[in-house]
Amino acid sequence: NAGVTQTPKFRVLKTGQSMTLLCAQDMNHEYMYWYRQDPGMGLRLIHYSVGEGTTAKGEVPDGYNVSRLKKQNFLLGLESAAPSQTSVYFCASSYGSNTEAFFGQGTRLTVV
């Protein structure tokens, strides 16, 4: 099993450009999450989904949009990238909210 796969692994964007980060899981998990990791701030929740077709805002949702059209995929979009969105982005999935979350390898995004 591949677990949680994130695409791409690295990306450099110019301010104002848009992009989509793709997360795919093969564990049939209902819950999926997008976190960002910044030095000294741990992992902060951007958006999450409790099932196909559902999304909800997390702690830091501004500037991001998400979609969960298929159970196995969770997409994170940046419509107009800003330098403040330079970060490492992690996708995760879990069976429920109180069960082990499995993380992808991360996407390192730099906005210049």
Partner 1 sequence: GENVEQHPSTLSVQEGDSAVIKCTYSDSASNYFPWYKQELGKGPQLIIDIRSNVGEKKDQRIAVTLNKTAKHFSLHITETQPEDSAVYFCAASITSGRRALTFGSGTRLQVQP
Question: Which parts of this chain interact with partner 1 (CB under 8 A)?
Answer: 4, 31, 33, 35, 40-45, 48, 50, 56, 58-59, 90, 92, 96-101, 103-106
Looking at the Cβ atoms of 17 and 65, the one nearer to partner 1 is 65
Q: Work out the burial of residue 36: count CB atoms within 10 Å of its CB; fewer than 13 is exposed, 13-18 middle, 19 or more buried.
A: buried
Closest contact distance (angstroms) between CB of 17 and partner 1 is 25
Q: From CA 61, how far away is CA 77, in angstroms rounded? A: 11
**56 vs 112 by CB, closer to partner 1:** 56
Give, as one character, the DSSP assignment of residue 83.
G
Q: How far is the CB of 13 from partner 1 (least distance, A)?
A: 21
Q: For 39, how many CA atoms within 13 A lie in the half-sphere containing its CB?
A: 2
